[in-house]
Amino acid sequence: MDASRVLKSVDASKDEMVSTLSELCKIPAIPPESGGEGEADKFALLADILDDAGLPKGRDYPSKDKRVPGGKRHNLVVRMKGESAVGRIWVVSHVDIVPPGEQSLWKTDPYKPVVKGGKIYGRGTEDNGQAMVTSLYAAKALLDCGAIPKRDVMVAFVSDEEVGSRHGIQHIISEGIVKPDDLVVVPDSGSPNGQYIEVVEKSHLQLRLTVRGKQCHASRPNKGINAYRAASAYVTEATDMLYAKYDRRDRLFQPPYSTFEPTKKHANVPNVNTIPGEDVSFFDYRVLPGEDLDAILEDLKDLGRKHGRSSGARFDIETVSVSEAAPATPVGSPVVKALSASIKAVKGVPAKPLGIGGGTCAAYFRRAGIPAAVWATIDEKAHEPNEYAVVANLVSDAKVFAHMFLNA
């Protein structure tokens, strides 16, 4: 079938896509780790939306979780049969969201989506509601036009992405339903013009630094050891040292170097006139593939021993989380080639491979030997107050997926 008819069908669905995204984003889908009850209510609405669209109801691959009502987390896979079941095409979006954060920073109610200026404002609109809607309406356009894709199309909606994917992508992979010759697209990172396809991610290392000194009155600092002061000196030197020592560049990534940033800090003493005896802070490192994370940790411990000798404080460095970079998806892989061709055909821009410091669930596919490409057209407003999705991106991304379903 001529793709132009299918693409026109997507254009005609614009208002419906906006309405569907708005309805989905009225429902919180927050994991229990973040204080929520999971995604069940949003999955129930999604089932109704699929039914109204005439799409197959899909198959659920639930993961047991006693922490949420109903005791399970859902993972729904909708299949459209193609001319061949070999090397199916997957588009995988996640249903869960992060909490809104500080409400006063929002100009609108995060759970009452507002459409203005060509944008839909609300929590979860970009991350990852846009992907849910674009993949769904790409499949609907094929159905409405009676078009049969070249391969089986698998549109997946999963749980738990925001806090580790144990009940989502990792569970799906463990079920063995995604195969190494499948083409997998994860619309969970991107750029404003839709040019970049993410094919590799940095390693991720998070650390906790606890500095223990001796508490005393602020007027008699000679009687104590200021843990805050000792920690501050350490953090400054550690950050400068790591940026200088691990300074390799790789132009595939943005930014093209490893990053070593101090981030979170616990409160120490509650009053101003006390020298703190303990100080706790955290580091978030995004490290280029190939760098030795154990060596970085040992460098930090060596520096802690040095600062301990000079300050009298004790420095303890613990790993909070560690994730080695997954193997890269080859630039010449079938999924990258197919996606690049559809981006060029629909959006008129040449696709470029990219590496990022953030993490997506594509890493789990890559570790399982399944090349995955991460792509979307977004302004990168995920997790921010006043998050939004651009209406034009809903339409263009759905067209890219529909084109890919027909031609890959």
Q: Would you name the residues annotated as active-site residues?
A: 96, 161
Q: Which residues pair with 116 in a beta bridge?
A: 119
Residue identified by tokens 């993949």 is: 135
* Amino acid identity at 29: A
Distance CA 178, CA 33 (A): 27
Closest by Cα among 193, 126, 157 to 350: 193
Q: Check: CB of residue 379 under 8 Å from CB of residue 388.
A: yes
